[in-house]
Structure 1
Amino acid sequence: MKNKELAIVTLKNEAAKIYSRQIKDFLGNNIKIKIYAFENGEIEFIKEKLVLLSTYLKYDEVKKHTCDDAQIIIPRITLTKSSVDKVKKIEKGKDVLLFNLSLDMSLETISLIYQLGIDHINLIPCYPEMKKLPDVNIAITPGETALIRDKVKEVIDIGHRVLDLSTIVDVAVKLNLDYLIGDEKTQRYFKNTITNSCALEKLLGETNKLENQFDILMKVLDDGIVCTNIKGIVYFYSHIARKIINIDENEMVGRYIGEYINGTNFDEIINKKQSLDGKLIKINGRDVSLEVKYVKFNNFDGFIIKLKTFSYLEKKQTKLRAQLLKKGHVSKYTFDDIIGTSEEINKTKEIAKRMAKSNSSILIIGETGTGKELFAQAIHNESYRKKGPFVAINCGAFQESLLQSELFGYEEGSFTGAKKGGKLGLFEIAHNGTLFLDEIGEMDLNLQAKLLRVIQEKQVRRLGSDRLIDIDVRIIAATNRQLKELVKEKKFRKDLYFRLNVLPLDIKPLRERKEDIIPILKDIKKSLKSKFSLSDEVENVFLNYNWEGNVRELKNIIEYLANLDEKTIQFDHLPKYMVEDTDCVQSVDVKESEFKRNKSDYIFVLNELKKAYENKERIGRKKIYDIAVNKGIFLSEQEIRSILLELNELGLIQVLKGRGGSVINEYGLKFLENNKMG
């Protein structure tokens, strides 16, 4: 489109430059402006057909230098809101000088200030030719501070006057550039200036409100939107469309849409008033989805074009797929959630962190309840795939046919009972993310072969389909079985084993890292908001319990104890199955040589402690001494004290502090059972 021309004629160059910048800010490269200023000397012939003349005082003179058909606009002038705010701060009733280039211009500026509703001060016109300056200490000037004499104490520079928005609209309309007036710059200009037209202010205020609402709508839409008239001339496009096409803010406005979007026949679409449901085209080397809708509604008759980058569509589709599944697509845990202080767990975490940086398959080996999925999620969140989906499935929970449809998906009608529209497979859902295959050792051999092919080819085919779908998925598998032994027994494919076991990760059972038991226990208590404590005896049992269910079993027991609502957990509070587990009490092998006195004396004390334990009583050396006297056993109180200390050292009892007495533990009970004396 050819540039439209405008002449700006002012008294001084600076004012012309300000007006030019304002108009250019709206109309951009669509307009060509030439500046004429009287301070430069005689005005030459003005060839432009539209002239903006800053003052009526020069109208006759300028008219002589223009074409007969030229239009001269005398602009409406206003002030910025920040300038007006400066004037409003002046004390009410004050006399204030108004300095400008001439008496007429000074009076013109005073009139403007009064028109803008500022009438709380008395403005006195001043100009350079004045013989005597009024005795006033404060002055206002629109950018002419050099004119003010030194004896004025306070000078307020309100800056050069600016064009009222109505003038800019007038220029745009006369040059057929009015389609640019709906731009956000118009809204911003309206907010920053004071208009002296009440009608325009109301109109623009409503328009501004609607523009804001429309702009908000465009910003929340993910699509790039382009609107054209019936001839395909663009009059609006959203910021997303601007980014996709890679153009400036107003570059495409007023131009034919086909100049900017190739790969489709816009001439045919526009001539036939057609719509285009969807087409993949190239814009700046990127795949873009294009839709065109012909719309005729009220005063609108034209086309609405939607643009969306294909990569964005693909990413969004992946997220939507995961949401449709409503499970296994979010990775919540990081390595910080793996609690433990033992050397074994810290070493395992360090190895796993290094594995996370790779894209190779990982095989996690560990007993039930050791936290294999926790590690898998942490690895995902440490990898470059962390923004992608994390999809988990337990291979041991499905029959072969059902597991196959879960992993690979199926087309509509592929088998009896298939859902209408088919179903996405987990491999598709996990695209650009991680697929966690738990209990991989339970997978059927036939399905193992299909899984191996998908991993090797990086393509998946839904059941009932002949179409291959490209996938980019990292596999993390887990098992509590010895896959190597299953391979020997021909129950697991050797080639799949080696494909999965690229990066093996072994998680030790809880009983082999006892230092982690108490920290994990505290963390579980915190999550349950429980504040109970363990007695020393119970803590000792926890440290020596077999924990066949590992962390999962520990969590179950903590949850059980939390519901007892006890401040301190004693031995008799423990679940029966835990107490009855013989592995929770280590074998007690106390040799005769370890006793400093007759073995029967120790048996006597242990028996009394056992009776007290069964009666849920506390017993100390004085009470044991009284019992010994009644039974005719010759032990002094001091000797009983020594026996108690020795039994404590041997780990058969616990001597409590203060007056808590002494308590027999499971080791002591076991010792008594093994040394019955009748």
Structure 2
Amino acid sequence: MEKRELAIITLKKDAGEIYSEQIRDFLGDNLKINLYSFEEGNITYCNEKLVILSVKLKYEEIASLCSPDTQIIIPKLTFEKSSFNKISKIDKNETVYVYNLSRSMALETVDLIHKLGSGISNLIPCYPEFESIPQNSIVLTPGEEIFIQTDNCEIIDLAYRIIDLSCIVDIAIKLNLEYLIKEDLLKKFMDKIIPTSYITEKLLVTQSKLENQFDFLLSSIDEGIICVSSDGIVQFYSHVAKDILGINENEMIGKYIGEYIKTCDFSKIANNEITHFQKLTKVNNIDINLEIRYTNINLFSGYIIKVTKFYQAEKKQAKLRSQLMNSGNVSKYIFDDIIGNSENILNTKKMAYKMAQSNSSILIIGESGTGKELFAQSIHSSSYRGSGPFVAVNCSTFQDGLLQSELFGYEEGAFTGAKKGGKIGLFELANNGTIFLDEIGEMDLSSQATLLRVIQERQIRKIGSDKVIDVDIRIIAATNRDLKKLVCEGKFRKDLFYRLNVLPLKISPLRERNEDIFLILDSFKKNIDINFKLSDEVIKIFKSYDWEGNIRELRNLAEYCSYLGKNVIEVSDLPEYIIESMESTDYCESLLVKNTNIEIPNFKRSINDYMFVLKKVNEAYINKERIGRRKIYEYAVTEGVFLTEQQIRSVLLELQDYEFIKILSGRGGSIITDKGRDFLEQNK
């Protein structure tokens, strides 16, 4: 919201700063205050719509520097109690001189001291044009330096005057910020100053207290409350009503209610003396439940209007129904539960949050295990349907024909085996909430046609029933398949695809945001209360691994590592499928085309040497141990095989050339490949 601007113009810079600080005590940072002073000479042209001018004689001069619609306030000033206490100690019969910068300002100060009840009858105004003040006199000054002779005089500095409370309230009202003036601030200020009008200040404090209590009462009511007079003029309204109607603070006060609720003729209600009226109507394209009651209490005669967003009452019913059925159909996750700092996932979350504010269908596209349902629940939680039910159904788990009975429900006796009393469908259960259709690509064509009608008509019909049921739901669908390809193959309806694909949301696989892998892994470790570390080699493997199972696969691996009972996870600790998949860009293809009849290569040494080394590498792999040429040499010495450490190194390099083993970098050792195991099996 754009800040209101206020100009404060004073003779002295210090006075302006005091007034500014005082106003900010009440109105905070909700307005911008610009300070000008004649002392600084920085007054040119005032663009502000409200000007506080402390010097009455300068009114014409300042008015000429302002735009025609600028309001200029000459503030009422008063003294703080601490200053006025100094005056009260003076003998009432004394002759007291009151000094200020001009004759008119000195007269104003004398008048103020009289109004505040000083009791001193002989107050004489003085100003710089005076030649001198009689010796041994008492001189009062409101924070101004005295520029005339004051031999042996008692100078009492009352400090700068401050703005009176009634003027503060006037400023707040003109800036539409009066709601910021709270009871505690009023009390604090009243304890500090001498009010110029005791009755006015007392009434302000009392009224503020009553208004705060009334606001507290109204804030505890879900419905919006508007009070209008018999002729339809708005007297007040609650914050809830303000939010429902989408208006600003106090915008409606004093205006005809028909300007804001145009779909209801209030003049007809008043003329016909209707005491109770209820209607479902639209305001700003939102369905509003409107209830109007005539009331006559003490001095007020008019109407109390209760406004409620229609879906709010429906939400409560859906929530109660969900509790009664103990269905557990509620969302558990919000966007903060989606872990990741990569630009990829942050942009996806940002886009998903924007989609949550809409009511259109969303199609989430992503590989298996990427967290499609997590996004769906977060979208639901962040939408206006968040307090309603969230119903998830996996379309691939039902055979053709059975899905419809789950989605739409059925009547008793609709088919053989139907439950007594029938069954409520998931669409009806999701009313006023969200239904999540996972694996939508697996839905049979018959169910697709029925789903299309639900999206178009927003109505369902139970199997075996001739009645239609209105439903207000949002559909979020998800798939890991190419729906466009399925449309081309005739396996998915084109019209349904475009109905669902209003807001497409693509979730990237884990391999495209590998900077998030270790953040997600840490969260899984916390959940299972285990703390292990990864070796540098394992970290490299994780970064280059394909993660075809995505986050679900990473969670499974975290659980697997927790059962190993090791502080550091090495390469040899990893499941075989991870190591095997690193050997080929397409692991599945390598399995399918694998040729088990491996020809014996033309080795440089005896085949027995190669079989010995290969056997030791295989045993280490089975035992999840790391093995290098030095360990193999120790086995050779023990078993009487005549191989030096350098010869073993040459054998390992040659085995790697034939893709029988893979030599890892650093101290990772060597691991046997699938081809190496097949070669061992073939030649054992």
Q: Normalising by structure 2, report the TM-score.
A: 0.56
| Mapping of residues 142-291 of structure 1, within 5 Å | 150=148, 156=159, 158=161, 194-195=194-195, 205-218=205-218, 223-227=223-227, 236-238=236-238, 244=245, 249=250, 263-264=264-265, 274-276=275-277, 278-280=278-280, 289-291=289-291
Offset at 1:639? Answer: 2.1
Relative to structure 1, the CA distance from residue 458 to residue 631 in structure 2 (aligned partners, 3 Å threshold; closer, same or farther) is same
- In the alignment, the residues of structure 1 paired with residue 549 and residue 579 of structure 2 have an alpha-carbon distance, to the nearest angstrom, of 15
Superposed CA offset, 1:270-314 (max 9, x none): 9868333x22467899975432235577x58755512537xx545
What is the aligned partner in structure 2 of residue 87 from structure 1? 83
SS of alignment partner, residue 520 of structure 2: helix
Give unmatched runs, 5+ long, in structure 2.
Answer: 1-74, 171-177, 323-327
Closer/same/farther in 2, CA of residues 606 and 102 from structure 1, 3 Å limit: closer
In structure 2, relative to structure 1, the CA distance for the partners of 1:242 and 1:400 (3 Å cut) is same
Structure 2 distance, partners of 1:619, 1:185, is: 77
The equivalent of 2:125 in structure 1 is 126
Contact 2:664/2:670 (8 A) holds in 1: yes
Matched, 1:670 2:677: yes
Q: Secondary structure at the match of 1:566?
A: coil
Counterpart check, 1:559 vs 2:567: no
Please point out which of 113, 123, 134 is paired with 1:110: 113
Shift of 1:670: 0.7
What letter is aligned with 2:125?
C
Mapped contact 2:228–2:303 kept (Cα < 8 A) = yes
| Aligned partner letter, 2:646 | Q
Q: Which amino acid aligns with 1:639?
A: Q
Change (3 A) 1:650 1:557: same
How much does 1:545 deviate? 8.8
Match of 1:10 in 2: none
CA deviations over 1:545-574 (Å, ceiling 9, x no partner) = 997755423321222313544222246645
Contact 1:86/1:158 (8 A) holds in 2: no
Structure 2 residue aligned with 1:604: 612
Q: Which amino acid aligns with 1:394?
A: N
Instruction: Mark the CA change 1:106 to 1:608 in structure 2 (over 3 Å): closer, same or farther.
Output: closer
Are 2:304 and 1:308 aligned?
A: no
Offset of residue 108 of structure 1: 5.6
Aligned length: 551
> 2:518 — aligned with what?
522
Secondary structure of the 2:605 match is: coil
Matches within 5 A, 1:372-521: 372-373=372-373, 392-397=392-397, 404=404, 407=407, 417=421, 424=428, 426=430, 429-430=433-434, 436-455=436-455, 457-461=456-460, 463=462, 476-478=477-479, 492=491, 494=493, 499=498, 515=511, 521=517
Cα distance in structure 1, aligned partners of 2:499 and 2:282: 39
**2:555, 2:548 → 1: CA distance?**
13
Inter-CA distance 478–496: structure 2 relative to 1 (3 Å threshold): farther
- AA at the equivalent of 1:606: L
Using the size of structure 1 for normalisation, the TM-score is 0.56
Task: State how far apart, in whole Å, the 2-side matches of 1:356 and 1:322 are.
Answer: 23
SS at match of 1:213: helix
Q: For residues 248 and 632 of structure 1, do their structure 2 counterparts lie closer, same or farther at Cα, with a shift above 3 Å needed? A: closer
Amino acid at match of 1:417: G
Matched, 1:642 2:638: no
Distance in 2 between the 1:629 and 1:105 partners? 113
Counterpart residue identity of residue 524, structure 1: I
Indicate if the aligned counterparts of 1:609 and 1:662 stay in contact, CA closer than 8 A: no
SS class of match (1:293): strand
Does the 8 Å CA contact 2:359/2:474 hold for their aligned counterparts?
no
Match of 2:215, SS? helix
2:276 partner letter: S
Cα 1:275/1:163, change in 2 over 3 Å: same
Rounded to whole Å, the distance in 2 between the matches of 1:558 and 1:644 is 32
Which amino acid is 2:615 matched to?
Answer: N
Contact persistence 1:106–1:125 (CA under 8 A):
no
Question: Partners in 2 of 1:483 and 1:235 — Cα distance?
Answer: 58
AA at the equivalent of 1:274: T
Deviation string 1:436-478 (CA, Å, 9 cap, x unpaired) is: 42223443544332212234x3532454685685979566442
Q: How many Å apart are 1:388 and its aligned residue?
A: 6.6
Task: Flag the 1:233–1:189 CA change in 2: closer, same or farther, 3 A.
Answer: farther
Runs (5+) with no aligned partner, structure 1: 1-77, 169-181
| Cα separation, partners in 2 of 1:621 and 1:115, compared to 1, 3 Å | same
Q: For residues 402-434 of structure 1, what are the alpha-carbon distances to aligned partners after superposition, in whole Å with 9 as ceiling and x for unaligned? A: 85577568999999636899984547534xxxx
**C-alpha separation in 2, matches of 1:557 and 1:327:** 29
Q: Distance in 1 between matches of 2:181 and 2:507?
A: 65
Cα RMSD (Å) of the superposition? 6.7
C-alpha distance after superposition, 1:231-252 (max 9, x if no partner): 9887544466679597995986
**Bigger Rg, which one:** 1
Following superposition, the deviation at residue 605 of structure 1 comes to: 2.5
Q: Percent identity?
A: 33
Q: Distance in 2 between matches of 1:508 and 1:185?
A: 49
